[in-house]
A and B are shown apart, each in its own frame.
Chain A
Amino acid sequence: MSAVLAVQNMTKFYGKVRALNDVSFSVPKGSVFGILGPNGSGKTTLLGIVMDILKPTKGNFLWNGQPGSNEQRKQIGTLLETPNFYHYLSGQKNLQIAAAIKGRGKEDIPKVLEKVNLFQRKDSKFSTYSLGMKQRLAIASTLLGNPDILVFDEPTNGLDPAGIAEIRQLMIDLNRQGKTVIMASHILDEVEKVCTHVAILQKGELKTVGTVDEVLSGTPGDRVSILEVELAADSIANLESVLKNLPGIVNIQSDNGTLNIQCEDSLTTSAINKYCFEKGIVLSQLNLKRKTLEKRFLEITGTKSEH
């Protein structure tokens, strides 16, 4: 798969503060690529650099194999950080300005306003919009000219639950149309539900990158991946004492009549079952728990917020 965006050795300092440190990754064409990280991890800085509003200290980037240019940005729909519009103009007039800068006609404007349910308020001043409406207008602006690449920074900010679901569905629909979506978010559930690929940033460092499944399973980059398995038997105490001697077990926790164990991925469920049976214990329950992105994220970044 060819790379829509290739970020190479990107480093950014704000004075003495290092916001990005030697970050490199590629965004495959046709993917929904999530850039995930706690507040202050460098997500917006990274997107700001590839959209030319911030200057990198070191490193470069390529859009479709070419150095970034304004002509390429015209072909990309971007919502960066907050909706940026002229407060004294109506939603429609703001979109006319965006369309004119992109070199597009006005014909797309009613269509994109309909898509984000803002058509009825098109003549209202931007300053009278609610936070959610402002966000919708920004998303409408990204859709002008039907671009093949979309960049969203925290796209569901300020939206109500129905709005969040609509925007997530919109992103999935856009991806089904063959468009590449790059999305920065600190909402793990959002990334897990929408994205095909994910890069995790922390304090400006790229911690991992790959498909969502790869990241969840611990590859690439990790030497040892940890699995979680839930077990039960007639005697939990006996089961626990037996499992303590099984090589590869990392942690055992008792939880309301079941045992939750963490073990190395070399240990399969069938191997656990066989071992217990050989030790005279018949398991009444054996579930391999699918790791959520949230757990994986916390494993990689730690549990504390950076702000």
Chain B
Amino acid sequence: MFKSLQIEWMKIKNYRVFQVFSVLYLLGIIVIIYIFYKVYISIIGELQKAMTGANSEGRDILGIFSSDYLPYTVCFWTSLLLYLPGMIIINLFINEVNFKTHRQNIIDGWKRETFIFTKISLIACISAAVMIMNFLAMVIMAQIVDSEITKEAVIVSLFSFLQAFVYLIFALFLATFFRRSGIAMIVYFIYGLILEWVLWWLVVKIHPSLPHFLPLQSSDSLIPFTRFRELYKDLPSVGVSLAVVIGYALLFVTLAVRKYKYDDL
């Protein structure tokens, strides 16, 4: 698999869209949390000034950047950018279909499974990069707010790996299914930003915990905005969430592999 990943790297390292989107995304992880922090401090300062006349002096009075909550706050905000690497995955796969290189790789001697598992390995690598960048963002923010990095930061970083993996493997599944960049991206955005919220609204009436079992929401639920955990009182336990997330990851892997292995290319 390492060899096929090396070949994958040969394919994408000179692809300008991949280069630009990757740099934008990885920098965006640091930038989005820093912007949130500055806005948050500014708003809190203004509110406190209006209510008490006292100056908050840029203090985190809600404690969302305290040692306990910093990892969750960071990963919650950076997860909003996960659609960007999702678009990269769709673009890379559909490029192969458009250039018919997904056929040529097989003709040249790859197994169909090798092709699709290489894409899944690439997703694992990108998810690992997301995890590392999230941890880096925690370290930087801890320095800025004079907080500490705890064991929780490592655990939440690992959760962010799983969250990124589910978002990206879902994108790959859609790309294998639709085979057209535009359609796959539209469905990806519509599902993630609209349809899943509609489903949330529908299933919450059946049971308040059910929305946390939806494909993308289940991974979001691993990293809630825990300073306000009362908003998530129906959150399943971490163990259950982990099982659901891993289940969805395996399901999308299986569907993508089956689609690629048995269909005409």
Contact = CB atoms under 8 A, between A and B. Distances in A.
Contact of B109 (A71, A86, A88): A71
Given A80-B103, A84-B101, A97 B10 contact: yes
Interface string B58-89: 00000000000000000000000000000000
Contacts, number: 76
Given A53-B264, A101-B7, A70 B101 contact: no
B106 interface: yes
Interface in A98-125: 98, 100-103
B103 A84 contact: yes
B10 A88 contact: no
B262 to A, nearest CB: 7
Nearest to A79: B107
B109 A102 contact: yes
Given A84-B101, A88-B15, A88-B16, A78 B10 contact: no
B49 interface: no
Given A93-B14, A96-B10, A84 B111 contact: no
A93 B7 CA distance: 11
A84 B106 contact: no
B15 A52 contact: no
A85 interface: yes
Q: Which of A48, A53, A85, A101 has the most CB of B within 10 A?
A: A101
A242 interface: no
Given A84-B101, A93-B14, A101 B265 contact: no
A73 interface: yes
B104 A85 contact: yes
A55 interface: yes
Given A84-B99, A87-B99, A101 B108 contact: yes
Interface in B94-145: 95, 99-101, 103-112, 114
Contacts of A81: 100
A54 interface: yes
Nearest to A94: B101
28 contacts: A48-B264, A51-B106, A52-B106, A53-B103, A53-B107, A53-B265, A70-B106, A70-B114, A73-B108, A78-B107, A78-B108, A80-B107, A81-B100, A84-B100, A84-B107, A85-B99, A86-B11, A86-B15, A87-B99, A88-B15, A89-B11, A93-B14, A97-B7, A97-B10, A97-B11, A101-B7, A101-B110, A102-B109
For the complex of A and B, 7 pairs with smallest distance between CB atoms: A74-B109, A84-B104, A84-B100, A101-B108, A53-B265, A53-B103, A70-B111
Interface of A: 48, 51-55, 70-71, 73-74, 78, 80-82, 84-89, 93, 96-98, 100-103, 141
Interface of B: 3, 6-7, 10-11, 14-16, 95, 99-101, 103-112, 114, 262-265
